[in-house]
Amino acid sequence: MPENLQFTLDYLLDLRFNNNKPWFDENRQRYQQALANFESLVADIIRQFGAVEDLGETTVKECLFRINRDIRFTKDKTPYKSHFSAHIGKGGRKGSGRSYYVQVEPGGSFIAGGVYAPEPEQLKRIRAAIAADNGKKLNAILAHKDFKRYFGKLEGEALKTAPKGYDSDHPAIDLLKQKQFIAFHRVDDEDVLKDDFAAHIVTVCKALKPFEGYFHDILGEKM
């Protein structure tokens, strides 16, 4: 696995500096091998994921994101992502339960979860739940030793002032200001290449489960 993922990292680094269709087509065999290596990693994660969640009959293909970028609404027209990524959860990308995001990229690999782009109604529901107990439940999750070990702190964009409907002196004002609720565990290339990388991902996801569960219980839907 380490040798295979080194091939994948090398390919993705080359793609970063040659992000165009002619180069991609000329190196399609390299792409297919690099992707196959990442698929093997995801398969290994799924095999071990019973320690976190029951994934049922979820397949590797259901978990994978395409390498093609959506360039319709962005000035950056480079056609490909410079990473491979997967949505680990029952049903994969289309599932509705707790889910965990895994990305492999040279110098930028990570495991993450939470609520990245909540719709206004979703954000309203999250803030209402936080306000209802003054943030005690979420703060307890954030303070847990396993969360702090792997993620450190809550991340994501936040308002500079109190959101509409909440006083600036609310006991949970820092949480209420959040517009995103994200946990990141960043991984160095050296760790990606270790024999136990899949097992490490499973361990990190297990530490992330209460955080994921908190928001899933509030939203009751795919986050």
pLDDT at 94: 86
State which residues form the domain around 32. 2-219
User: What is the C-alpha end-to-end distance of the chain, expressed in Å?
Assistant: 31
With tokens 């200001």, the residue in question is 177
pLDDT at 221: 60
Cβ-based neighbours of 47, under 8 Å, separated by 6 or more: none
Residue-wise pLDDT tens digits, 45-88: 999 999 999 999 999 999 999 999 988 878 888 999 999 999 99
CATH, residue 155:
3.30.930
Count the domains in the chain: 1
Residue-wise pLDDT tens digits, 200-209: 999 999 999 9
Q: Would you state the structure tokens that stand for residue 109, as one six-digit string?
A: 């690999």
Which of 169, 157, 73, 100 has the alpha carbon at shortest distance from 123?
Answer: 157
Average pLDDT, the chain: 95
pLDDT at 167: 95
- Return the sign of the alpha-carbon dihedral for residues 48, 54, 59, 61: negative
Between CA 190 and CA 91 the distance in angstroms is 30
Between CA 127 and CA 138 the distance in angstroms is 11
- Return the sign of the alpha-carbon dihedral for residues 63, 67, 70, 76: positive
Contact criterion met (CB below 8 Å) for 86 and 26: no
Between CA 86 and CA 79 the distance in angstroms is 19
Please give the average per-residue pLDDT across 142-155, as a whole number: 98
**Burial degree of 181 (CB within 10 A; 0-12, 13-18, 19+):** buried
41 pLDDT more than 90: yes
Q: Which residue has the higher pLDDT, 3 or 147?
A: 147
Contact criterion met (CB below 8 Å) for 101 and 112: yes
pLDDT at 72: 82
223 pLDDT more than 70: no
Residue-wise pLDDT tens digits, 156-209: 999 999 999 999 999 999 999 999 999 999 999 999 999 999 999 999 999 999
Contact criterion met (CB below 8 Å) for 223 and 115: yes
pLDDT at 2: 63
Between CA 69 and CA 50 the distance in angstroms is 32
Residue-wise pLDDT tens digits, 3-33: 799 999 999 999 999 999 999 999 999 999 9
